[in-house]
Amino acid sequence: MPRPEKDINLGGEGKIRVYYSTTTSSEKIRHNCRFLQSLLERKKVHLREDFEPWIPIDIGMDREERNKIFEKAGVRKTPMLFIDDQYVGDYDDVVELDEIGELDRLLNYCALKYRNLKTIEEARKADEVLRMQQNQDLE
């Protein structure tokens, strides 16, 4: 697998972005998009200020921009999740990260960065609030 190019700036610092294909004929890719959307909605990501609506990678995007995204990710497989302008993975990668708790850590980090929290105490409070919200959603 090609190595992701970390130096390419897609303008997503402090943001959560999902790039997806609207023209795929692959049932697996369409399935992965639906299930990634469901996973992120369960985590209330779509309600966050740092979340940008899903970005179609094929319609209305010029080839140069699309190629920058693929180069940064090191893959061409959609959907692609980026957190803080860093490629996190495709659907399978994100599910794996969620199972070990790493996805929540990345999402919490992005929320802290987006809000420019300055102290460790503020970060802990924000993390606790997010945990409480997630626990309430599970009840």
DSSP string, 14-79: T-EEEEE-SS---HHHHHHHHHHHHHHHHTTGGGSTTBPPPEESSSS--HHHHHHHHHHHT---SS
Indicate whether this model's pTM tops 0.85.
no
The pLDDT assigned to 118 comes to 43
Q: What tokens appear for 133 in the block?
A: 């919200």
Per-block mean pLDDT, blocks of 10 residues, the chain (139 long): 68 90 92 96 92 90 93 94 94 96 90 63 74 78
Nearest alpha-carbon partner for 88 in 100, 71, 105, 73: 73
Say which residue the tokens 């850590």 belong to.
105
Strand partners, 86: 83
The pLDDT assigned to 38 comes to 96
Name the strand (E) or helix (H) holding 18.
strand 16-20
Tell me the H-state helices in 44-84.
63-73
Strand partners, 55: 19
Q: What tokens appear for 123 in the block?
A: 């970060």
Give the whole-angstrom CA distance, residue 82 versus residue 44: 16
Apex 83 CA angle, 81 and 89, nearest 5: 35
